[in-house]
Structure 1
Amino acid sequence: MLRITADVFSGRQNPVWTVGEERTARNTLRALSEGSELLTEDAPARAGVGFRGLLVESLSDEAAPDLRLGSTTYLPVGREARGPRAAELAERLIGLLDRVDTSLDTEEGVSLPEPLRPFLTTQLTTATEEGSRSGASIQEGGQETSESFTAAATCYYDVTPFNPGFWNDDQNTRLHNNCYNYASNWRNNTFAQPGRGCGNQYTALTCAEVGRGALCDGMHRRYDCFPDSEWPRHLVALVIWPNTDFHWYRLQSEGYWAHKPGSTAARNVDNSNRVINNPETCDRGPYTQFCGYFYGCHTQRQRIR
């Protein structure tokens, strides 16, 4: 039996499907073994946001040992893929959706805008095309904003040094904290969702709804000041993959921004591997809508879950 996870989201839990038929599971593992040079142990450090790859976990010990595969293996796609055959192998794994049930974090009450297989196939095509380009250009984002983080601040906020090891060195920490945990600087292993802590989680993947959830947790929009008693007050930015997912960035004391895409490593670079000096203009992959800036605070970060 196999469990396959599409590593595609940053804020939401990733979609997961299980292959229960043993012959299909073994044939899939054999195909992975024959393409072992395409595989890694985990998501590449520079995988970025968007469709990063597929995690394959063997749930029984009958097949993997003689095929020289570990109990888990990862197939990167897009710019981090190890060869053109990676897309073919990814298509095979996605194709298994035709015969299995899927789990897509239904507890959130927010569905994908289309069935899972065509959605992932489209994202795979996009990731492969982007991976084949040289010198990817910076994406400006799909929504204008009237504010800039370089504007004259009328509120005090707090910044801390970039400390990726705090989020990356322990596997359990890395897997169970997402971009909202990182933006809130609160490592509570809940894969936090805006509004869940206050009992009023977002109901749509839009700037308005995800922003409302964060405000309900206790964030403020920029220039709506917090008192000193709410230290630390972090400056963060929200972006949206329209109707699909959300993502957050946090300003660090070095002057750049950092983020944690889903269950992957915290980093301070964008999808073009450039240091993030401005979240409005960095390469954000499919997260084309820039929603604006917010402040986190002590009360808010202790509330998130």
Structure 2
Amino acid sequence: MLRITADIFSGRSNPVWEVRDGTEARAAVRALTASRDLLTDSAPAEGGLGFRGFQVEALGDDHAADLGVASVYLPVGALAGGPGAAELGERLIGLIGHSESAGYGAQDALPLDESLASFLGAQLESVSSAGTASQSVRDTRGGRASAAEQAPEDAESAAAVTCYIERTAFNPGFWNDDATTLRDNNCYNYASNWRTNTFAQPGRGAGAVYSAVTCAEVTRGALADGMHRRYDCFPDTEKPRPLVALVVAPGPGFIDYHWYRLQSEPYWGHKPGRTAARNTDNSGVVISNPETANRGPYTQFCGYFYGCNSQRQRIR
């Protein structure tokens, strides 16, 4: 048997399907082994936002022996190892019709049906054709905040407000060096700086998870967890208070959310879904401003927020 994960989302849970038909699984393994030059051990660190590839895991030692390893990764789009990656990806998507649910799917998991196959096929075609220590600082309203931290609506406000935030040094190894941590924590975990190993969702810990992937709904979930909108200050008792930013991929088709956190360097860090934490955008440029960074399909900027100690311990 094989378990296939489409590595596409950042906040939402990735689609996962299991191929339990022995004939289909063996045929897929043969196709993979015939294209080893297209495969890597894991997701490329520079994967970024959007459809990155497929993780294929052997669930039995027979298929692992055929593959030579227990797990392989097929990068697609700009990171593909060659033109055959798209065709091989299409073959893996086609196995949805011969698959079953992984059995431990998250509540927000997409159903394994024809619409999922069509969605993934369209996204694969799109990326393939494109080819491509804690420090307290002031966060000040009234023209005194840096461009990297200033939202357009904030700059228009006449009221002067000063809040204090905490910024930590960029520490990607904390998120990247352990396989469980890498797999089971997403962008919301990173923004909250709290490793839950639950692929945390805004509002779930407060019993008020978002009902749609929109700026308004994901914001509502995060506020229910205890975040504040920017310039609604937290007291010192709520340290650490990171400055974070929310964006959404509004569709049509590709719909997801993503979070960034301001580091002390200063630049912004983020963790796209199950992939490595990084400080660069989809162009490989260090992120000085999440509003102007290359965010791929995450074109809608939803605003800035503060996390706090109570919020990060509440997320699930």
Do these two structures clear the TM 0.5 threshold for a shared fold by scoring above it?
yes
Which residue of structure 2 lines up, in the alignment, with residue 83 of structure 1? 82
Task: Quickly say closer, same or farther: Cα 1:110–1:120, change in 2 above 3 A.
Answer: closer
1:13 to 2:21 alignment = no
Which structure 1 residue ranges, 4+ long, deviate > 3 Å from structure 2? 101-106, 108-112
Secondary structure of 2:68 counterpart:
coil
Cα deviation 1:69-102 (Å, max 9, x = unaligned): 3111110001111111111100110111223234
What CA distance in whole angstroms lies between the structure 1 residues aligned with 2:152 and 2:288?
A: 16
Equivalent in 279, 288, 291 of residue 290 of structure 2: 279
Contact 2:110 2:116 (8 Å CA) reproduced: no
Task: Quickly say closer, same or farther: Cα 1:75–1:153, change in 2 above 3 A.
Answer: farther
Identity, % of aligned pairs? 62
Which residue of structure 2 lines up, in the alignment, with residue 214 of structure 1? 222
Partner AA of 1:127 in structure 2: V
Cα deviation 1:231-282 (Å, max 9, x = unaligned): 1100000011116211000000011101001111100001111101110111
Quote how far apart the aligned CAs of 1:129 are: 2.3
What CA distance in whole angstroms lies between the structure 2 residues aligned with 1:219 and 1:162?
A: 21
Count of residue pairs the alignment pairs up = 290
Equivalent in 158, 165, 171 of residue 157 of structure 1: 165
What CA distance in whole angstroms lies between the structure 1 residues aligned with 2:300 and 2:116?
A: 22
What CA distance in whole angstroms lies between the structure 2 residues aligned with 1:86 and 1:272?
A: 21
Task: Quickly say closer, same or farther: Cα 1:109–1:122, change in 2 above 3 A.
Answer: closer
What are the within-5 Å matches in structure 2 for residues 149-298 of structure 1?
154-242=162-250, 244-298=255-309
Quote how far apart the aligned CAs of 1:146 are: 2.5
Contact 1:219 1:295 (8 Å CA) reproduced: yes
Q: Which runs of 5+ in 2 are unaligned?
A: 133-150
Partner AA of 2:128 in structure 1: T
Please identify which structure carries the higher strand content: 2
Quote how far apart the aligned CAs of 1:190 are: 1.4
Contact 1:7 1:53 (8 Å CA) reproduced: yes
Quote how far apart the aligned CAs of 1:63 are: 3.0
Contact 1:270 1:283 (8 Å CA) reproduced: yes
Quote how far apart the aligned CAs of 1:68 are: 4.1
What CA distance in whole angstroms lies between the structure 1 residues aligned with 2:261 and 2:230?
A: 13
Contact 1:17 1:100 (8 Å CA) reproduced: yes
Task: Quickly say closer, same or farther: Cα 1:94–1:301, change in 2 above 3 A.
Answer: same
Instruction: Provide the aligned C-alpha RMSD in A.
Output: 2.1
Contact 2:21 2:98 (8 Å CA) reproduced: no
- Name the TM-score, length of structure 1 as normaliser: 0.90
